[in-house]
Amino acid sequence: MNLLLLAIRSVLAAIFTVAALAKLHDLPAMARTLAQFGVPQCWARGASYAVAISELAVAAALLFVATSPYAAAAALALLAVFTAVIGYNLAHGRKPACNCFGEISSKPIGPFTMIRNLLLGVGAGLIVANGPGAGLSGTFAMLTSTRDVAAFAAVLGLVCVLAQGFLMAQVLQQQGRILQRLDALVPVELATATQAAAVASAKGLGSGALAPDFVLPALSGKPVSLAELLAAGRSLLLVFMNPHCGPCEALLPELAGWMLHPPRGTELVVISEGTAEENLAKADALTPSRVLLQQEQEVANAYHAWGTPSAVVIDPDHRVGSSVAQGAEAIRALLRDLGLQEAYRMPERQAQPGFQQQQQQGSLS
């Protein structure tokens, strides 16, 4: 039992150390995560720093026999708070990304997140109920036979292998997402307009397919459905973007122009990711009622729009009207192919200083 409690303490200390250091490495990302979980924006950065320091203090205290019962109780309290917040969001249909281990593991919360926290809580509870177990010196003193040494080494090796396997799986999963996005974006960005259109033609649901429905909140705060957007009898140009996407940011002036002067017979609607604050900071010139926020990439995935920026046309009959255009050049090519070339370029006056500010005032009035 003493060896088991020592092993639990070691595992908990390692997990809390990795989690704390990962959060400290990228505090802004952790602050965004806390904001998505409902923490007020003004408190998010301070709260992210407090969580990371608390986890580091718990990890350090778990290493010592005298302080480990208190550290285990603190770990149990932290895990209880984390689990309650995750459960509340899941119950309300929200699945923000969990940056529990920073860049090592960043994916939407789910039942696995709850189970993981519950298992860690059981370990912390065992230490609270049964004491810290053996210290390192006491452990080595108990290893009186070759079989004891071999068993201890086997347990230690298993823990190391499991930890390394977990970290490797997370890194490979993250690299896979990056490679998938690069595979979607790089060839399009480097290609000519004709090549970009050819690449895009192989992607998406295909013309004539029934457009997947959605209901998303707009930056203005009102939920908007696909049926409402199509009610006016105009085609929709859905543009998928991300507030942290460089090519998307470069395309914003043209998106603002298309919203102000919609291409013939077509209305522009942007579907973005992230928080309202992040999108307002990057897309302040866009009409708030025409910028919709998806929780992750659920709508983009439904339309097979891999990567940002990308766009697809939806016809008034609720059917997909084009292949998915991926990348700025492919989006411009899509407009030209649809006979909208007179509107695809940004009007000259939009390049003048102060245009975006004037446009924002007009769109909000």
CA distance 82 to 99: 12
CA distance 318 to 230: 7
Lowest mean pLDDT among 64-68, 173-177, 224-228: 173-177
User: What is the per-residue pLDDT across 322-341, written as a single tens digit (0 to 9) for each?
Assistant: 888 888 888 888 877 766 54
Let me know whether 233 and 267 are in one domain.
Answer: yes
Let me know whether 245 and 352 are in one domain.
Answer: yes
Lowest mean pLDDT among 149-163, 295-309, 322-336, 346-360: 346-360
Residue 331, Cβ density class (10 Å: 0-12 exposed, 13-18 middle, ≥19 buried) = buried
Using the 3D structure, point to which of 127, 162, 190 is the last residue of a domain: 190
Let me know whether 245 and 261 are in one domain.
Answer: yes
Residue 56, Cβ density class (10 Å: 0-12 exposed, 13-18 middle, ≥19 buried) = middle
What is the DSSP track for 81-149?
Answer: HHHHHHHHHHHTT---EE-TTGGG--EE--HHHHHHHHHHHHHHHHHHHH-----HHHHHHH--SHHHH
Let me know whether 221 and 360 are in one domain.
Answer: yes
Residue 144, Cβ density class (10 Å: 0-12 exposed, 13-18 middle, ≥19 buried) = exposed
User: What is the per-residue pLDDT across 270-291, written as a single tens digit (0 to 9) for each?
Assistant: 999 888 888 887 777 788 888 9
Using the 3D structure, point to which of 142, 175, 206 is the last residue of a domain: 142
User: What is the per-residue pLDDT across 231-245, written as a single tens digit (0 to 9) for each?
Assistant: 888 888 899 998 888
CA distance 150 to 145: 9
CA distance 248 to 244: 8
17: nearest Cα among 163, 155, 220: 163
Supply the pLDDT for residue 8: 84
Let me know whether 132 and 148 are in one domain.
Answer: no
306: nearest Cα among 324, 329, 330: 324
What is the DSSP track for 15-74?
Answer: HHHHHHHHHHHTHHHHHHHHHHTT--HHHHHHHHHHHHHHHHHHHHHTTSTTTHHHHHHH
Residue located via tokens 């609607």: 269
User: 81 vs 32, 51, 86, 118, 255, CA distance in Å?
Assistant: 18, 11, 9, 11, 42
Beta-carbon contacts of 233 under 8 Å, excluding residues fewer than 6 positions away, are 316
What does the mean pLDDT of the chain come to?
A: 75
Tokens encoding 168: 């490797």
Number of structural domains in the chain: 3
What is the bridge-based pairing of β-strands 266-272 and 235-240? Answer: parallel
Let me know whether 51 and 165 are in one domain.
Answer: no
Let me know whether 149 and 201 are in one domain.
Answer: no
User: What is the per-residue pLDDT across 78-132, written as a single tens digit (0 to 9) for each?
Assistant: 999 999 988 888 887 777 777 777 655 556 778 888 898 899 999 899 888 888 7
Q: Which residues pair with 224 in a beta bridge?
A: 216
Cβ(9)–Cβ(127) under 8 Å? yes
Quick one: pLDDT band at residue 306, thresholds 50, 70, 90?
confident
Can you give the CATH number for the domain in which 281 is found? 3.40.30.10
What is the bridge-based pairing of β-strands 97-98 and 107-108? Answer: antiparallel
Let me know whether 179 and 296 are in one domain.
Answer: no
Let me know whether 232 and 297 are in one domain.
Answer: yes
Lowest mean pLDDT among 121-135, 155-169, 256-270, 338-352: 338-352
User: 84 vs 73, 78, 124, CA distance in Å?
Assistant: 17, 10, 17
Let me know whether 24 and 82 are in one domain.
Answer: yes
Let me know whether 260 and 180 are in one domain.
Answer: no
Let me know whether 249 and 156 are in one domain.
Answer: no
Amino acid identity of 325?
Answer: A
Instruction: Count the helices and strands in the chain (H runs, E runs).
Output: 15, 9
Residue range 146-156: mean pLDDT, rounded: 63
User: What is the per-residue pLDDT across 39-55, written as a single tens digit (0 to 9) for each?
Assistant: 887 888 888 889 999 99
Q: 159 lies in which domain range? A: 144-190
